[in-house]
Structure 1
Amino acid sequence: MITYTWSFPTLETKPSVEGLTDVVHVVHWRLRGEDADGVSFEDYGTVTMDPPDPENFTPFQDLTEADVLAWIAGEIDVDERKALVAAQIERKKNPPVVAKAAPWA
């Protein structure tokens, strides 16, 4: 079983958009997966956000990690990203190619 952890190290903001302040424009995300053996892999990317809906705007200081995760889940295929992380963990555990020194070296 793989445990997945999301993090959002940087939220790029625009100081002002149509009277709203500190509007998140780009979300930098990381998805880390770790299996029971401690083998891990981290995927990362960015999502450029659509302009905010003033009726449903959350002030920057009130944002939660769950809010931001919900935003990016609407923009990227979360299951696909998790599958990529799982595949990379499997590749680390069972590499398809192994470099070896020549036997005469």
Structure 2
Amino acid sequence: MEANVTVNCVHPGIVRTRLTREREGLITDLVFFLASKLLKTIPQAAATTCYVATNPRLTKVSGKYFADCNETSPSKRASNLSEAAQLWTASEIMVSRDPKPILPAISA
């Protein structure tokens, strides 16, 4: 029985949210004001996810990276197999029932 599952990665961009509401102040407000033209609204940020999830042309597309509703190449670091192995190991430790205190050694 085939599962008919695809797996892709999407980058929403830099999104204007209220995540910094606890840090509001002159400096934070100034930075966000200056960057406001670069920030996406939540619907704009969700557009790529919706596109990849629902576009019929992508039914058989898997293992790709999308940004701004376009397939693109991830950064060099994101394609580094050694970095991926370290991230996988760290993730396994974080979700295990018996986490081992070796995370700082992995991130070195």
- TM bin, normalised by shorter chain, reads under 0.3
From the two aligned structures, give the one with the greater helix fraction: 2
| Normalised TM-score (structure 1) | 0.26
For CA contacts below 8 A with separation 6 or more, give which structure has more relative contact order: 2
From the two aligned structures, give the one with the greater strand fraction: 1
